[in-house]
Amino acid sequence: MITSADVVVIGSGAFGASAAYHLAKRGARVAVLERLGLASQTSPRAAGLSSQVRATPSLTRLARRAVGKLASFTDETGQPLRFTQSGALKIARNERDAEQLSREVARGAAAGVEIDFVSIAEAQQRLPILGARGIAAITWSPTDCNVEPSELPIGYCRAAEKLGAALLPHTPATGFEIGAGGVEGVRTPQGTIASKCVRSGSTLTAMPWNDTQRRSRTPMAAILSSNPKPLSGRFTQTPTRSSRRSPLTLKAARVRMSHSSRPAT
């Protein structure tokens, strides 16, 4: 059992595993705590679809950068990742949603993301199962992509391990050691790991150790959390096994899930 680390990462999903890899790549001594199996929880169950045009210019630039990282993942880390840049269609079913697509096209142009309106006939060339009824507008973004989501977090974990990170599956974080300056360690059932920097691999509100954190009065500034803003409800179902193997089916799944009028979940 490791007894100290420069950074303790709690959670081995996509966010936590990526943080562990990039920290280890910069020479930090990293320990990754995971209460269950490595990369076994929500990240492998994601849809694996990437839409680059987001609600703000900053998020759009971040999403564009993420696609670049996914494209170069295997070359950078040496780990396998099924990556398909098949593009994506988005459908508006009414004029209000068509206006939203217009705003996305403008944001994409400003950020350098290739996206534009296409006709129904052009969309059907890319997605033959698409019906023409009830469509107000369609956009096409050829550089949007899809990946096999189960390969991403475990790939980052293995790459981080090769750089010296300690991977500790079935090792939950049960609390924190707090000193005058803030966090001094992370408690686990196997003992305490001394560290002055703790990075959450998930949103704080989803963590089972929130109550422990409140009881110990951990300074929030001492916990580095990605705390990502929830995405829209476009991707609300996981592709079937066949859709994960077929870019065309994934694209079809994306069209079904991209109706702007659907409420977020």
> At 202, is the pLDDT very low, low, confident or very high (cuts 50, 70, 90)?
low
**pLDDT(83) > 60:** yes
pLDDT digit string, tens, across residues 145-178: 999 999 999 999 999 999 999 999 999 999 999 9
Residue type, 212: T
pLDDT of residue 1: 80
pLDDT digit string, tens, across residues 211-262: 344 444 333 333 343 333 332 333 223 333 333 333 232 233 333 333 333 3
Residue carrying structure tokens 């199996």: 37
- The closest of 262, 195, 144 to 32, measured between CA atoms, is 195
**Cβ–Cβ under 8 Å, residues 197 and 183:** yes
Q: Which residue has the higher pLDDT, 94 or 248?
A: 94
Domains along the chain with CATH numbers: 7-44+151-225 (3.50.50.60), 48-146+238-257 (3.30.9)
Strands, sheet with 83-84, edge to edge from the N-terminal-most edge strand? 49-50, 145-147, 83-84
**pLDDT(133) > 50:** yes
Q: What are phi and psi of 46, to 5 degrees?
A: -70, 165
- Full-model pTM: 0.74
pLDDT of residue 43: 93
**Cβ–Cβ under 8 Å, residues 141 and 108:** yes
CA distance 22 to 138: 38
Give the β-pairing of 83-84 and 191-194: unpaired
